[in-house]
């Protein structure tokens, strides 16, 4: 049981970082700070559903641990650490050509 919680926590952390980075990029595009070329591929929206599925699985397996993980996620998101981690994880998928 512990190994599955650790694996699910790692997956939850990665999907949290990617989801938060995708939200930041979307806000930048809507605000005009980024061009539409800077958007992530559309299939990354699937990670949003995987993120919620993993969160619900954590909740079913151990609700106290799931609340702790969610609180840590909120703190990391508030301080911007998740967006930075997401940008590092997503470096291979970003547009490498400079926008003109």
Question: What's the pTM value of the predicted model, to 2 decimals?
Answer: 0.84
Ranges under pLDDT 70 in the chain: 95-100
Cβ count within 10 A of residue 68: 13
Question: Token pair of 81, please?
Answer: 């650490």
The pLDDT assigned to 56 comes to: 97
Query: What are the structure tokens assigned to 15, written together?
Result: 């999907």
> According to the model, what pLDDT value does residue 44 have?
80
């Amino acid at each position: 049981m512990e190994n599955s919680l650790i694996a699910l926590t790692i997956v939850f952390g990665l999907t949290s970082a990617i989801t938060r980075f995708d939200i930041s990029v979307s806000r930048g595009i809507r605000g005009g700070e980024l061009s539409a070329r800077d958007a992530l591929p559309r299939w990354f929206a699937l990670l949003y559903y995987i993120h919620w599925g993993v969160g619900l699985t954590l909740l079913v397996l151990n609700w106290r641990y799931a609340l702790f993980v969610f609180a840590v996620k909120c703190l990391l998101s508030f301080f911007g650490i998740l967006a930075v981690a997401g940008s590092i994880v997503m470096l291979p998928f970003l547009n490498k050509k400079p926008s003109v």
